[in-house]
Structure 1
Amino acid sequence: MEENYFRVNPDKINQNYFSLNKAESNHFLKSLRGNIGDEIWLLDGLGIAYKGLICSINDECISGDIINSFNDYGEPNYNINLIIGLIKGKRMDLLLEKATELGVKSIQPLALDNCVKTKLNQDRGEKIIISAAKQAGRSFFPTLHEITGLQDWLNAHTGEFSILCHYNSKDSMLRIIEKKQNSINIIIGPEGDFSERELDLFKKTKIQSVNLSSRRLRSESAAIVSIANVNQIMEN
């Protein structure tokens, strides 16, 4: 069988034994035509991956033995937290998917002055994240936080290393980021950009800003580019 990843509830790992829920079992049995004796990868979403051996199929639910476990499987040794103004529908879906594939630790949606969208379907967002994490083979599923305001976020994260991505900046990530950083907050504006009030807040908190491109990027594009840039700097 090809290398496929399945979500396993941590509560369903009992010493050297595991079981999958009906949805994951159906995917194994009906989509992949799996059977007893197959080896599969299990992701608990908390940072551990397991290699498992299918031993039993009972009422369309599968279970088996744990062969091995791997801490921080598929995870970088630094944290990227994406803070982004809410964007519309499918663009937000794309953002959640690609940010997860690129290795972010958490995603914090912000309700900003120029946001067109004011609500987020939390359940849908978390399903997209889990699906993307399985696709990418990540043992940790990024946290999708509840929507908050900019001032509240700034108050809660004083002193953390944060970067504001804005097209008016003259600086670059390569100059600002040092490899010794173990956690980086990337801040991206909404489709309507930050308001002057919000830009003033960033200046008061002395958050450094960077320019990602000579062209103005959509919010989801800016997020993808910024995460990829951080990965390249930290891993090279």
Structure 2
Amino acid sequence: MAPSYRPPWLVFFRETPVFSVRLQKLRSDPSCRELRNSEASFSFLTYAYLCRVQLFYSSRIENSRIILNEEETRHAISVLRKVPGDVLHVIDGKGNLFKALINKVNKKETELEIQETKTYPKPEKEIHLVVAPTKNMDRMEWLLEKSIEIGLSSLSFIRCEHSERKQVNMERLEKIALAACKQSLTWHFPELNDIVPFKNYLQSVHPMQGFIAVCKDAESVLNKQTSLKEQVHLMIGPEGDFTEDEYMLAKSAGWIGLSLGNKRLRTETAALAGVVGLNFL
């Protein structure tokens, strides 16, 4: 039987199991030049991922320059000990990944010169999650992190009649979202929306396809037969569930009652189960 084909990068990784040795060979060993430069088997993204590069974020992209803010500068210069001439990989949250050289450094910001740019399209399916936050905010932070890793376009918070939490710390959530995007190689950052009353949300948002998770009398069940559109909204209620009036109000606005199974789930568990199901159907 003829041996099956193994791509060069797979052969290399199996023959070089120690990460530090593998990284050094990739960067400097002449025998790896073809592997480094092969567009087919070793794309720019693959190289960045396999070498475990540190990703940085910047919203200030000006022509061929990137400006890192004070926090990102502190991490690059003080923690990682980067110096002018070193290469950094930067994302902008809009689908672009930049390979850039450090040009100028000071305590407040770092200026980079762009060497390469790779742009990634938005996901074909957009998942918009709407949640009544729990009293324990740690659960919502966990939900945000894991939802981004799986695939999330936006997260909005609502205040319902049974809600125990009336406000959320958006600045902290944005930092958690940024860290999750870097870790999971999410090129398009999800939109985060501050908490609003349930009725206000229904009046301001008219989804292409909206599901509201309910414990009983659901019109639809999330399974392989569920027909999904390109943009899907999923609404998850508070720990005391939606009231009957809230549910009927959502239905009158076009939202479809959805069952996530026969288990009684915590708010964050139901939300994550919905995100997973909608992403992989």
Q: What SS does the aligned partner of 1:175 have?
A: coil
- The answer to whether the 8 Å contact 1:173/1:230 transfers is no
Q: How far off is 1:22 after superposition?
A: 2.0
- Cα displacement (A) at 1:14: 2.1
**TM-score if structure 2 supplies the norm length?**
0.73
Relative to structure 1, the CA distance from residue 212 to residue 71 in structure 2 (aligned partners, 3 Å threshold; closer, same or farther) is same
Quickly say closer, same or farther: Cα 1:171–1:59, change in 2 above 3 A. Answer: closer
CA-CA distance at 1:227 after TM superposition: 0.9
1:149, CA displacement in angstroms?
2.0
With normalisation by structure 1, the TM-score equals: 0.86
Q: Which runs of 5+ in 1 are unaligned?
A: none
**Partner SS state of residue 194, structure 2:** coil
CA distance in 2 between partners of 1:66 and 1:174 (Å): 44
State the match for 1:211 in structure 2.
259
Q: Which runs of 5+ in 2 are unaligned?
A: 1-50
Tell me the distance in 1 between the aligned counterparts of 2:58 and 2:166.
Answer: 33
- TM-fit CA distance, 1:61: 4.1
Check 1:19–1:158 CA distance in 2 against 1; reply closer, same or farther (3 A cut).
closer
* 1:199 equivalent in structure 2: 247
Relative to structure 1, the CA distance from residue 125 to residue 59 in structure 2 (aligned partners, 3 Å threshold; closer, same or farther) is closer
Relative to structure 1, the CA distance from residue 60 to residue 118 in structure 2 (aligned partners, 3 Å threshold; closer, same or farther) is: closer
Cα deviation code 1:167-212 (max 9, x no counterpart): 323622432333xx22111111111111111112133234222222
Question: Is the alpha carbon distance of 1:3 and 1:232 closer, same or farther for their aligned partners in structure 2, counting shifts above 3 Å?
Answer: same
Q: Does 1:124 align with 2:147?
A: no
Structure 1 segment 49-68 matched on structure 2, within 5 A: 49-59=97-107, 61-68=109-116
Q: Count matched residues.
A: 228
- The whole-number CA distance in structure 2 between the counterparts of 1:164 and 1:174 is 18
CA positional deviation for 1:159: 5.4
Query: Which of structures 1 and 2 has the bigger CA Rg?
Result: 2
SS for the counterpart of 2:202 is helix
Relative contact order: is structure 1 or structure 2 higher (C-alpha 8 Å, sep ≥ 6)?
Answer: 1
Q: Which moved further from structure 2: 222-231 or 210-219?
A: 210-219
Q: Give the Cα–Cα distance (whole angstroms) in 2 for the partners of residues 214 and 84 of structure 1.
A: 20
2:276 to 206, 228, 235: 228
8 Å CA contact 2:131, 2:236 repeated in 1? yes
Q: CA deviation at 1:81?
A: 0.9
RMSD: 2.2
CA–CA separation in structure 2 for the residues paired with 1:153 and 1:173: 27
After superposition, the Cα gap between the structure-2 partners of 1:137 and 1:159, relative to the gap in structure 1 and judged at 3 Å, is closer
